[in-house]
Amino acid sequence: MQPKLLVEEAYKYFPLRRSLSEILTFKAHRYVRAVDGVSFTINEGEIYCLAGESGCGKTTTGRLIVRLIDFTSGRALYMPKKEVLSEIPPEFLIDGKYVNLASDLPRHVDKLLRRDVQIIFQDPYGSLNPRMRIYDILKEPLDIHGIGSTEDERREAVFRTLEEVKLTPPEEFAERYPHMLSGGQRQRIAVARALILNPSLVVADEPVSMLDVSIRAEILQLMLDLKATRNLTYVFITHDLAVAAYVCNNIAIMYLGKIVEKGPIDVVVNSPQHPYAKALIAAVPEPDPRNRFKMRELPIIGEIPSAANIPPGCRFHPRCPYAMDVCRSEEPPEVEVEKGHKVSCWLYAKR
Ligand code: SF4
């Protein structure tokens, strides 16, 4: 398997609005450090999970990858599929097969990448235009990207995609409006809209978190089936580690804009090393009542601090039960505790 996406030292800072008195007293700009030096590699065909609590930077990282927002700095080398790659002028390629998603790219290259890297949003209620028929919602990306030379070809693509997401008969669903569908059906439309351009990388941002528990498994299974038939690579963003363990191959656990632990999903979930990852995994509800008291055996204290005011040293130190002096002043380096399993914590680093 070859790397599909290599994110290297990615940063995204959002400037905070300054008050009038801050402007008049020439106070320096302050920033929300949403993504603060994140690196990971995703191989072709895998499902890579970005996990963590709300505000950890996982959604911002996903939006950087689909180029909805610009990187502050860093690199994200992306290997498009062959048909797209052949249309990209060589001067924008690195090693003949990668494009840096963090760089300025001309409009036509940007458009090609937007076709090849798609996103499924969390909210199946807010992400579909309520005034458009499902047919028009699905046809719109084809029109924008000039795919299909006739109306009949586009109609066929819409119906084929509806069938793929199991909304049949497609002629009937195509005529409906979003409010005429259930939450699960709407999320199937969101999946269809992401897939109609035939991408090779899909960023799925909490794709089942707003759905009833009873239909989550169906949507996850649909995504797994589509991955197999279409040879997709997924970036799967979730706060739900049980969902991550069900679908993902590898995981990166984020805290306040940084990855604190990453590795193969079964290794990280069964043997977490970072105190934050341990607490997060210990908090996953245990379905077996005999094991219920294993939960929360490692409580973390306090609230997650603001990304505009990140603590010095290890950013987790105000909540960490193992915090030492060094944790309060120096950021921990990333240490490989076993092959492919990396942790950023002074408990594992040599000083
Ligand atoms: Fe806790 Fe220190 Fe490790 Fe941070 S570096 S997680 S404060 S032990």
Give residue 49 CA to ligand 1 midpoint distance, Å.
23
Q: Specify the pLDDT at position 298.
A: 53
DSSP-based three-state secondary structure for 210: coil
What's the gap in Å between 141 CA and the centre of ligand 1?
46
Pocket of ligand 1 (CB under 6 A): 274-275, 314, 316-317, 320, 322-324, 327, 332, 345-347
The pair of structure tokens assigned to 128 is 């579909």
What is the CATH T-level fold of the domain 3-131+177-348, as seen in this structure? Rossmann fold (3.40.50)
Contact 73, 104 (CB under 8 A): no
Residue 296's pLDDT is what? 46
pLDDT at 202: 98
**Which of the residues in the chain have pLDDT under 70?**
285-299, 351
Q: Which ligand 1 atom minimizes the distance to the CA of 327?
A: 2
CA geometry: angle 230, 233, 239, nearest 5 deg:
125
User: Per-residue pLDDT tens for 128-160?
Assistant: 899 999 999 999 999 999 998 899 999 999 999
Q: How far apart are CA 100 and CA 71, in angstroms?
A: 11
List the domain boundaries for the chain. 3-131+177-348
Counting ligand 1 atoms within 8 A of each CB, the residue from 259, 300, 320, 335 with the most, and so the one to mutate, is: 320
Cβ contact 202:235 at 8 Å: yes
Biggest CA pair distance of the chain: 68
Read off the pTM: 0.92
The structure tokens listed for 3 are 């790397």
Q: How close is the Cα of 328 to the center of ligand 1, in Å?
A: 9
Q: Measured between alpha carbons, how far is 118 from 207 in angstroms, rounded to an integer?
A: 13
The residue whose CA has the least distance to atom 3 of ligand 1 is: 345
H helices, E strands: number in the chain: 13, 12
Residue type for position 167: L
CA of 321 to the centre of ligand 1 (A): 8
State how far the Cα of 107 lies from the Cα of 328, in Å rounded to an integer: 45
* C-alpha–C-alpha distance, residues 201 and 118, integer Å: 6
Q: What is the pLDDT of residue 295?
A: 43
pLDDT at 124: 73
pLDDT for the residue 70: 97
